[in-house]
A and B are shown apart, each in its own frame.
Chain A
Amino acid sequence: MTKNPSEIKNKDVRTKMYLAMKKEKLKAKKKQKLENKDKPKQVPKTLENCRVKDETFINDIQNDQEVLFDLNTDEISRNLKRKSEEKCMSQDEFEKTIQEEEAELDEESGPNNSNDPKILITTNDIKIGYRTYKFCRELSRILPNADYFYKKKVRLSKIIPAAIKRDYSAILVVNENRKQPDGLMISLLPDGPTMNFKLNNLKLSDEIKDGGGFTKHKPEIIMNNFNTRLGLQIGRSFATLFPTDPQYEGRHCITFHNQRDFIFFRHHRYIFRNAKKVGLQELGPKFTLKLRSLQKGTFNSKFGEYEWVQKRHEMESNRRQFSI
């Protein structure tokens, strides 16, 4: 029976004994490691792993005739079609159209990108804080072809028809609380849907450590984990906000990553260091969104019909149940 080294009063003996014990422990650990090498690695149990089965989960969309039919005829499909029309044509007669476009460019002053989404950004409050203003500015920089306007004293119910008249394809409204942006409303025009998000963990681009500068190239979009019917609806609505022809020389990419119903918005620039390594640099802003409601039609908080509403006590009683 070995003595506990802390009971030995002689320091030299105590240290020696302690070191010997430590060595033995390390040996045992190494042995254990060698033994465990051949065993399969255990997968940790996470909330996502143990997710409750969702009936609306879309596994094989290509064989689901009805969902495809629904996707092809709903309100968002019109916005998506508006985007892809030009692209489809130019793919077919690529060289021809390029020549034509070049000829057109010579004649006109700027390129005609009428099929790109045109977005209006405004705020809910008339007087806004500096951070909210900056956030709106950054949003209008990320989304190509977006305009930011002061709210003035115009009601949202009057802004929306005016925006439809001016051929906007979506309207974003930033909500502010205590001088911090805390909500985002996205309404696709002309006929919905409208999504309401809680916004938190916002970091603007100059608050990000080692953040990169901004270029005007059109970004690439990545959608992660939008798997249920509701998630698909939301992911597609996000996709309508961006132009469909990314400019790869810009090397920047926008990610919507869904995890446990929180949607993380990230903006990165990548570089291929070599055949295996990729370097990432974060550009701003970054924030987290949580869906509050999905409403059919354009914004109408009083009489609008909801497709999905967050009911915290009914839906979130089970921690392993997610809806996106």
Chain B
Amino acid sequence: MTLFDYNIFVGTDNGLLKGINSKTRSFNNLNSMENLTKDKEILQMSWFDQKTQQDIFFCTKDKHLVKFNTLKNIQDPFIQFGSFDCGLGDLKGMEIIEDKILTCVDKGLMKLWSVNEENLSKNLVSEIKCGSDIFAIKKNPFNINLIATGGIENDLKVWNLDKTEAIFKAKNVSDNWIQLREPVWVSAIDFLDENRVVIGTGHHQVRVYDLKTGIRKPIYNLTYGENPITAISVLPDFSNRVIVGNTRGEMEMIDLRSAVSKNDQCKTIKKYKGFQGTIKSIQIENCPQYKLNGSDLCVAACGLDRFLRLHHVESSSLFCKVYLKSRLNCLLFSKHEPIKPATKQSGEMEDDQVSNIWALMIFGVTWRQFD
């Protein structure tokens, strides 16, 4: 039997990879803080194999790719694949498709790579141009060949990796009541099932598209809150429910088929409380150790308020809340149960370095603390 120290992994905006044990509510920095810079910000993480959930791939802002082995007691868990030539612009997304890696930059160049772990070589397999200002990219977990992309003034497109043309191009909703065009900003994507895509937009809408019907406009178009939606996650029980999070730290479960209420807002089923800042990433997973009222679905969310929160989906009660000291970008929630004792983190620093930092921070200012 394999053993795991942690069941949640979080990437921060200063390049740290953190492992969290939700049982002991403790965390550990998995990579060392030396020679980390702002460029090493972790943008996205993904399981190499969704079934075993053993290896993590994560990409950093300077277009480097790293593999991390989550198994306990491994000598060197990190494998550096080095820099990837993803094209001009900022890296926006990374997905693992079977054993290939898909990268996408915001200028719209999507590249598929095949990597070899033994000699760390990488080969470009194919290239797709998917329009400018890409904001979100997501693979279809039910059909691995499908990739959905979207961004600012770049509506949802679904690509088949075998073809160079998009198999689905969304059409904008009709003009509003004063004949003005609705702006487009896809900010979060997830797949409901093989043919249905749900997106969250920067203009606080939640939309559902059906790929099979041939209708290019959304089949559901709901508004949620007043702030841009930053994260969206579908409940895995095919119940047409999603959990959305926005920049103001509001995370709620909404039913996509719910009738729109009077003030043009969709109905909320459950509200998850306690968030203080922007929610960056949401993930739902089955957690047998947190079984409550016959349901073991748990939702983990992290964001700019430096906290990781683990809620029960159905009862919306807070199971675990860990302060992680840095702004968090993305998270991976594994189904494995962590072993109970986790080693505590120990931080040591050279003396001259410390005094130098204090000099930078507190020049000319007196800081006082009253008890």
Residues of A within 8 A of B (CB): 55-56, 62-74, 77, 80-81, 83-84, 87-88, 220-227, 229, 235-236, 239, 242-246, 294, 296, 302-309, 311, 314-315, 323
* CA A90 to CA B273, docked complex, whole Å: 51
Query: Known contacts being A56-B323, A296-B304, A304-B247, is A314 close to B274, with CB within 8 Å?
Result: yes
Residue of B nearest to A254 (CB): B365
Q: Which residues from 260 to 284 on chain B have a C-beta closer than 8 Å to any C-beta of chain A?
A: 273-274, 276-278
Q: Are A229 and B367 in contact (CB under 8 A)?
A: no
Residues of B within 8 A of A (CB): 14, 16, 29, 33, 36-38, 202, 228, 230, 247-249, 273-274, 276-278, 304-306, 323, 325-327, 347-349, 354, 357-370
Which of chain B's residues have a CB closer than 8 A to the CB of A55? 323
Given A73-B37, A222-B365, A303-B202, 14 additional A-B pairs, CB 8 A: A68-B357, A70-B325, A73-B38, A77-B361, A80-B360, A84-B360, A225-B368, A306-B249, A306-B277, A306-B304, A308-B277, A309-B277, A311-B276, A314-B274
> Could you write out 11 A-B pairs with CB less than 8 Å apart?
A55-B323, A66-B326, A68-B354, A69-B14, A69-B33, A70-B14, A87-B363, A222-B366, A306-B249, A306-B278, A307-B277
Q: Are A307 and B357 in contact (CB under 8 A)?
A: no
Which of chain B's residues have a CB closer than 8 A to the CB of A56? 306, 323
Which of chain B's residues have a CB closer than 8 A to the CB of A225? 368-370
* CA A72 to CA B38, docked complex, whole Å: 10
Cross-chain contact of B347 among A66, A84, A227, A309 (Cβ < 8 A): A66
Q: Are A243 and B278 in contact (CB under 8 A)?
A: no
Looking at the assembled complex, report how far the CB atom of B50 sits from the nearest CB atom of chain A, in whole angstroms: 29
Which of chain A's residues have a CB closer than 8 A to the CB of B348? 65
Residue of B nearest to A245 (CB): B364
Query: Known contacts being A73-B38, A308-B277, is A88 close to B304, with CB within 8 Å?
Result: no
Looking at the assembled complex, report how far the CB atom of A323 sits from the nearest CB atom of chain B, in whole angstroms: 8
Looking at the assembled complex, report how far the CB atom of B109 sits from the nearest CB atom of chain A, in whole angstroms: 25
Q: Are A305 and B230 in contact (CB under 8 A)?
A: yes
Query: Known contacts being A62-B354, A72-B360, is A305 close to B278, with CB within 8 Å?
Result: yes
Looking at the assembled complex, report how far the CB atom of B149 sits from the nearest CB atom of chain A, in whole angstroms: 20
* CA A133 to CA B364, docked complex, whole Å: 30
Q: Are A305 and B33 in contact (CB under 8 A)?
A: no
Looking at the assembled complex, report how far the CB atom of A198 sits from the nearest CB atom of chain B, in whole angstroms: 17
Query: Known contacts being A69-B36, A221-B366, is A309 close to B359, with CB within 8 Å?
Result: no
Q: Are A80 and B33 in contact (CB under 8 A)?
A: no
Residue of A nearest to B304 (CB): A307
* CA A63 to CA B347, docked complex, whole Å: 7
* CA A323 to CA B248, docked complex, whole Å: 17
Best-buried of A65, A223, A323 by chain B (most CB within 10 Å): A65
Residue of B nearest to A69 (CB): B33
Closest 10 A-B residue pairs measured CB to CB? A65-B347, A244-B364, A55-B323, A305-B278, A244-B363, A221-B365, A239-B365, A307-B304, A307-B277, A66-B325
Looking at the assembled complex, report how far the CB atom of A275 sits from the nearest CB atom of chain B, in whole angstroms: 21
Which of chain B's residues have a CB closer than 8 A to the CB of A245? 364
Looking at the assembled complex, report how far the CB atom of B308 sits from the nearest CB atom of chain A, in whole angstroms: 12
* CA A315 to CA B247, docked complex, whole Å: 17
* CA A245 to CA B325, docked complex, whole Å: 31
Query: Known contacts being A62-B358, A64-B347, A65-B349, is A305 close to B367, with CB within 8 Å?
Result: no
Cross-chain contact of B248 among A65, A88, A226, A306 (Cβ < 8 A): A306
Which of chain A's residues have a CB closer than 8 A to the CB of B304? 296, 305-307
